[in-house]
């Protein structure tokens, strides 16, 4: 058997093992519903205004359950003079690593788009390490049941934190 044939056979076996849970009704994985419940206060559709890096922006923000309960999806659409932005993120709880993972997709060239999410009290914190020692962070809180505040900041390798922007989102009825 050639090396190519062996590789193909191993790939088929690996694919079958990984996907077996999708065809065995006695072994269907369940989404991390209990862990994703922490996002309930943030779910909804909002009008958003933001001052980000000195630019005033406005648009919409939507946070919803997606992919049959496996993910939380966030969609931000904002505009300012000459800039039309679209930002999507998907968040889930990774049972293996026991942490929340987030992936972001936006109207920029692809960079490191994976980060982590954690909760501290009533604050939802997402972090992305863009370079070694440089962390981009969003801190999201609900001021009340209808108003959300998001503070964006960068922390450098020395621990110095610089605020980049603040967004306020008001829930649409």
Per the structure, the complete domain to which residue 26 belongs is given by 1-30
pLDDT tens, residue by residue, 111-152: 788 999 999 999 999 999 988 889 999 999 999 999 999 999
| pLDDT of res. 6 | 57
- Examine the domain organization and report whether 19 and 87 are in the same domain: no
Distances (CA, A) of 163 to 42, 127, 153, 160: 22, 14, 4, 10
- Examine the domain organization and report whether 24 and 94 are in the same domain: no
| pLDDT of res. 26 | 82
- Examine the domain organization and report whether 40 and 122 are in the same domain: yes
- Examine the domain organization and report whether 51 and 127 are in the same domain: yes
- Examine the domain organization and report whether 82 and 118 are in the same domain: yes
| pLDDT of res. 155 | 95
Structural domain total, the chain = 2
- Examine the domain organization and report whether 26 and 40 are in the same domain: no
- Examine the domain organization and report whether 87 and 151 are in the same domain: yes
| pLDDT of res. 130 | 80
pLDDT tens for the chain, residues 1 to 173: 666 665 565 555 555 555 555 688 888 889 999 999 999 999 999 999 999 888 899 999 999 999 999 999 999 999 888 888 899 999 999 999 999 999 999 887 777 889 999 999 999 999 999 888 899 999 999 999 999 999 999 999 999 999 999 999 999 97
């Amino acid at each position: 058997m050639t090396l190519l044939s062996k590789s193909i056979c191993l790939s088929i076996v690996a694919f079958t093992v990984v996907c077996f849970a999708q065809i065995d009704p006695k072994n269907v994985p369940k989404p991390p519903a209990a862990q994703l419940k922490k996002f309930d206060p943030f779910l909804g559709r909002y009008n958003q205004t933001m001052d980000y890096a000195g630019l005033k922006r406005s648009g919409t923000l939507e946070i919803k359950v997606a992919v049959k309960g496996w993910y939380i999806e966030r969609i931000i659409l904002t505009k300012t003079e000459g800039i039309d932005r679209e930002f999507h993120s998907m968040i889930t709880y990774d049972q293996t690593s026991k942490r929340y993972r987030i992936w972001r997709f936006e109207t920029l060239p692809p960079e490191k788009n994976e980060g982590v999410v954690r909760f501290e009290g009533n604050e939802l914190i997402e972090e992305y390490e863009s370079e070694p020692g440089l962390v981009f962070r969003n801190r999201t809180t609900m001021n009340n049941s209808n108003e959300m505040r998001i503070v964006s900041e960068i922390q450098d390798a020395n621990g110095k934190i610089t605020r980049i922007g603040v967004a306020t989102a008001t829930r649409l009825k």
